[in-house]
Amino acid sequence: MTNSPTSNTSVKINIGCGMTPTDGWKNYDGSFSIKLARRPATRWILEKLGRINADQRKFIEFAKSANIQWVDVSKGLPDQNGSVAVIYSCHMVEHLYREDAHTFLKEARRALMPGGVIRIAVPNIAWQVENYLKDGDADEFIRHTKLPRNKPKSTFAILKQLYLGDRDHKWMYDGPSMCRLLAEAGFVDPQVAPSGTTRIESPGQLNLSERDPESVFVEAINP
């Protein structure tokens, strides 16, 4: 029996899952903590140096138990051509430089089978602007965009930034701009999906309202 592209037996991946991997899916994340989960010696050294805080320690242990795989999407995806039915990513694309966002979407198209669905959730700049227009607090608006950078002050902070790169937001999107980005990558029929709705045939345990109301959800089809 041939499975439809989004049937329960097809491969689905959650990219940039953080602390919210999806049961029954392949879960990827680019956090350095994922590497530390599989490098006990490096983790031990950083623990001794006091460079791992309680939140990082918790995430490292969680990543090990949840079998989250480390993937740098700016370099590509490990999946074979046309082997994936669904790709989902929540609050990850805004961390990518625009050229890296294009690389990610090109790789997503390569890995997705024809008719496969991509679903992207990003912070909605329109929602943030609406809040700014209500309260008039420009500083709070800028903080919420997470575009400002804090100047690294210690030698360790400088080395960490050089090694890990810039982990802050690089770009902000609303529904129409994310639809354009997907269309530029070659996806068809990009649409804003209201929270809780999807064109994914069998979403399983996928959270269709993740980080609502600050998120905008956009879906498109791989031709």
Asked if residue 165 has pLDDT above 70, the reply is no
> For residue 193, what pLDDT is reported?
98
pLDDT at 156 over 70: no
> For the whole model, what pTM was predicted?
0.88
- Digit-coded pLDDT (tens) for 130-152: 999 999 999 999 999 999 887 77
80, 118, 198 from 110: Cα distances, Å? 8, 12, 22
- pLDDT value of position 209: 98
Measured CA to CA in angstroms, residue 91 lies from 17, 25, 94, 96, 107 at distances of: 9, 18, 6, 10, 18
pLDDT at 11 over 50: yes
Q: What is the DSSP string of 169-206?
A: ----B-HHHHHHHHHHTT-EEEEEPPTT--S-S--TT-
What pLDDT sits at residue 2? 34
Exposure string over 150-183, b if 16+ CB within 10 A, otherwise e: eeeeeeeeeeeeeeeeeeebbbbbbbebbbebbe
**Domains of the chain, CATH where assigned:** 12-30+71-124+170-221 (3.40.50.150)
Residues 27-84: tens digit of each pLDDT:
999 998 888 888 888 877 877 777 788 888 888 898 989 999 999 999 999 999 999 9
Higher per-residue pLDDT: 57 or 21: 21
- Average the pLDDT over each of 88-102, 162-176, 207-221 and give the range with the smallest value: 162-176
pLDDT single digits (tens) 177-212: 999 999 999 999 999 999 999 999 999 999 999 999
